[in-house]
Structure 1
Amino acid sequence: MTDQVAQRSIVVFGASGLIGRSITDDLRARGFHAIGIARHFSAAQGRSALDLEMPILSLASADMARLIRDHSVDAIVNCLGVLQDGPDGDTRAVHRDFVARLLQAIKQSGRAVRLIHISIPGDAREDRTAFATTKREAERLIAASGAAYAILRPGFVIAPNAYGGSALIRALAAVPFELPQQEAATPFQPVAVEDVAATVAWLAARDIDDKAVGAVAWDLMQPQAITLAGVIAQFRLAFGTAKMPHLNLPRFLLDLGVKLGDLASRLGWTPPLRSTALSELRRGVTGDPSAWMEATGIAPMTIAQMLARPASIQDKWFARLFLLKPLIIASLALFWTASGFVALVISFPATKAILAAHGFPAWLVTPFAGITSLMDMSVGVLIAFRKTAAFGLAAGIVVALGYMAGTALLTPDLWIEPLGALVKTGPAIVLMGVGLATLGNR
């Protein structure tokens, strides 16, 4: 079997994601020739020679067919997914249209290829969001294609790494708040990413003509019933926060967070708390894993087993900072934008008077006040947008240091003015450094 496995070539689409990365690494550890494909791999993911960066969503079926033939692909694992239309892509394009082209590519390649597709659990009749409906459309296309396939519907995936919803659950476990009763009581069956990866490896090792797994759809999750509150409680045991006093989170704050999350997505951010996430959360994560367990012999880990190891200090820091990160970015964007706007529009005469009183030449006062105000506003706008946030934070640090150095040389008396505006610039610089340090998602 080892030699047979080594000869199996597996392509994993979405190999930089939480599930895709785990599957790719697990397949390689088991001896498979696993080719990871993603739009981008972060430096921390240790990209190997088998990891390929490609514009996946713009690949034509002919391009994918060529890829399948060139690498003698035996199985394809599709881990692509996007929660909501936004900077990461369009749900229909990612979930349905890509799968349609992929199925066409498998036919064009002339090879017998097994498609292992990562989908979502739940009753299709309860699908309400574009996320769920497009996922289900992809399932129907696969089932009607005639290709050998396995549709895997993992529950709430728990992995050593955290991203999106799994990061949010960790954050909720680290703060002294309880979710509203409706959300807390939602059924929420988890699954370990190791069990998902083991299932993919089990399928990849099967012969393509094995009719027992020629067309299957399985729910992957622990069979024991549990609620969202129960999952958070298990994380609290791992974090050592179970005995922390907790306050009930008002529903309006949860709804406000969702609205702000949707707004942030328009600026290029991908916060886990958005309207689709809340809708899917209230729906719950449930299924029947018995067929999967019987076919593969896998005994899925329980949530207690997944979190048996006490959380490290890194885990705790991440959980605490996760909810602070959007507050840091938002406060800095507002700080720079508002300060520049006030100085330019509301208090421009006062701004010029302060500069004139501290010895600035009359010809320089107005242009200097205008330029610095516009510069401050530009820094705030740059920080607000995800694509330019890193540049904006770095620019903010440079500008703030320039203000401090310039006033020390030209108007040193501003350092001892009663409100201590320049003294307070130091902590603002440190906060921008924290923002830069926490920008990464993977």
Structure 2
Amino acid sequence: MSQRTILVLGASGLIGRYVTDALRAQGLRVIGVARSLSPAHKMSTLDIELPILSLEVAALAHLLGEYAVDVVVNCLGVLQDGPGSDTNAVHRNLVARLLQAIGGSGRAIRLVHISIPGTAGEDRTAFATTKREAERMIAASGLPHAILRPGFVVAPSAYGGSAMLRALAAFPLDLPEKEMATPFQPVAVEDISATIAWLAARDIDDASVKAVNWDLMQVEPITMAGVIEQFRIAFGTAGWLRVAMPSFMLDLGAKGGDVASYLGWMPPMRSTAIAELRRGVSGDPSTWIAATGIAPKTLTEAMGRHPATIQDKWFARLFLVKALIFASLVAFWIVSGFIALFVSYRAAADILSAHGFSPALIDPINIGTSVMDMSIGGLIAFRRTAAVGLVSGILASLGYMLGAAILAPDLWIEPLGALVKTGPAIVLMLVALLMLDNR
């Protein structure tokens, strides 16, 4: 039998990236496709950037034929509607076009679709309902397919919800008691990859796997509290006293995450994430285990039996702090510019006048620097322009420090030390710049 070619859609995501690399390590020919790939993700000439969501049926069919694809693995997914994220477009419309492309390609192709656990009656969010609608379309297509419903995915890398749980484990903080008691069955990402490799090795005419729907997760029941506790054991924080946050704080955090999403950020704590968390993660993996012979790893096995590394600990500790850093920098620049322009305008003008500035320059300098400060805050607030805002903030701060040293050196020794405090602000902006990556 000739080597099969696997096309992975969403090769930059948590599951998609691992699956792409793991299958290649087994000697399989894997085409990794994503809307955008960072330099770290471009591990091969077969990693391709394509505007996958805008590809029509003909373009998708051409892609399948160009690379002689035998298996398509769809790992694409978005958590919540917002700027640049459309659950219906990703989960439903793309799948509909993909099914048409596979059906019209003239090739015998198996579709492996990554979905979510649960039943339609439990679906309450656009994320869940569109995922379930895609499942129904795939089942009705008559094409060879496997719908995989992984539980909480444990992987070497962390993103979104998996990153948030690590962060909770690193702090003496618990979710509300009700949320901690929800079922939360995990699955090792290695087991997902092994399942896809097993499916890829099956003949397309094998009736036993022509249309399967499997829950992928460990057998032993476990709650959210149990999952977080296992991370705490790895981080060495298991013995800490902890405080459970009230439910209203969780809801407030979700609303704040929703607002941040409209600025282009992708925080893990959003309304959909909390709704899905409260539903829990559970299923029946017995059919999957019986069919494949794969013995799913337990959470302890998936995480390994060794303590967390220092990079694991740093990431977990800084993950929640990242939002605080960016929010504080946005507030710092906008509020300082607002105060200088509307509250302390006269005092700022007097300082410039006292240091010999021409009256004709005082207003333009005062207004210009205030507007610049507020603009920097606005740039940092939006994910797309945050890097520009941070670099601008660093340069502006250095400019203020240098200008004061030349024109008004006495400001360096004023009682409140405003210019001295600019140095730590520059360092914080540098830290924010280094933490900007999401994946």
Shorter-chain-normalised TM-score: which range?
over 0.9
Q: Which residue of 1 aligns with 2:148?
A: 152
Residue 312 in structure 1 maps to residue 309 in structure 2: yes
Percent of paired sites with the same residue: 67
Match of 1:183 in 2: 179
Of 32, 38, 42, 2:38 maps to 42
User: Given residue 163 of structure 1, which amino acid in structure 2 is its aligned partner?
Assistant: Y
Question: Which position in structure 1 is the counterpart of 2:114?
Answer: 118
Q: TM-score, normalised by structure 2?
A: 0.99
- In 2, Cα distance between equivalents of 1:341 and 1:127: 45
Q: Secondary structure at the match of 2:141?
A: coil
Tell me, in whole angstroms, the C-alpha distance in 1 between the residues paired with 2:136 and 2:306.
40
Q: CA deviation at 1:87?
A: 3.6
Task: Tell me, yes or no, if structure 1 residue 137 matches structure 2 residue 133.
Answer: yes
Q: CA deviation at 1:88?
A: 4.5
- 1:106 pairs with 2:102: yes
Cα distance in 2 between the residues matched to 1:121 and 1:250: 27
> 1:87 and 1:225 mapped to 2: Cα distance?
37
**2:265 maps to 1:273:** no
Question: Is this contact kept in 2: 1:22–1:193, CA < 8 A?
Answer: yes
Do structure 1's residue 372 and structure 2's residue 336 form an aligned pair? Answer: no
SS in 2 for 1:43: coil
CA distance in 2 between partners of 1:435 and 1:227 (Å):
34
Structure 2 counterpart of 1:29: 25
Q: CA shift at 1:45, angstroms?
A: 2.0
Superposed CA deviations along residues 273-302 of structure 1, whole A, max 9, x for unmatched, are 000000000000000000000000000000
Q: Tell me the residue number matched to 2:247.
A: 251
Deviation by residue 1:331-387 (Cα, 9 ceiling, x = unmatched): 000100010011112221121111111221211111000000000000000000000
State how far apart, in whole Å, the 1-side matches of 2:373 and 2:202 are. Answer: 61
- Paired residues of 1:120 and 1:132 also in contact (CA < 8 A): yes
The Cα offsets for residues 197-243 of structure 1, whole Å up to 9 and x where unpaired, read as 00001001111001100000000000110000100000000000001
By how many angstroms is 1:35 displaced?
Answer: 0.2
Distance 2:247 2:355 in 1: 51
Once the two structures are overlaid, the 10-residue window that deviates more, 242-251 or 320-329, is: 242-251
Partner residue in 1 for 2:50:
54
Q: CA deviation at 1:67?
A: 0.9
1:309 Cα deviation after fit: 2.5
Supply the distance in 1 between the matched residues of 2:420 and 2:246 (Cα, whole angstroms): 37
Kindly provide the amino acid, as one letter, of the partner of residue 13 in structure 1: L
Which residue of structure 1 aligns with residue 72 of structure 2? 76
- Local SS of the residue matching 1:45: coil
1:18 deviation in Å? 0.4
Deviation at 1:169, TM superposition (A): 0.4
Is 1:428 the counterpart of 2:414? The answer is: no
Corresponding residue for residue 333 of structure 1: 330
Contact 1:159 1:192 in 2 (8 A): yes
Q: Separation in 2 of the partners of 1:10 and 1:367?
A: 61
Pairs aligned (count): 438
CA RMSD of aligned residues (A): 0.8
For 1:55 and 1:305, the matched residues in 2 are separated by: 37
Amino acid at match of 1:421: A
Tell me whether 1:194 sits opposite 2:190 in the alignment: yes
Corresponding position: 1:168 with 2:164: yes
1:325-364 aligned at under 5 Å gives the runs 325-364=322-361
* Cα distance in structure 2, aligned partners of 1:340 and 1:358: 21
Q: Is the 8 A contact 1:155 1:285 kept in 2?
A: yes
Stretches of structure 1 lacking an aligned partner (at least 5 in a row): none
Task: Specify the SS of the correspondent of 2:415.
Answer: coil
2: distance between equivalents of 1:67 and 1:441? Answer: 28
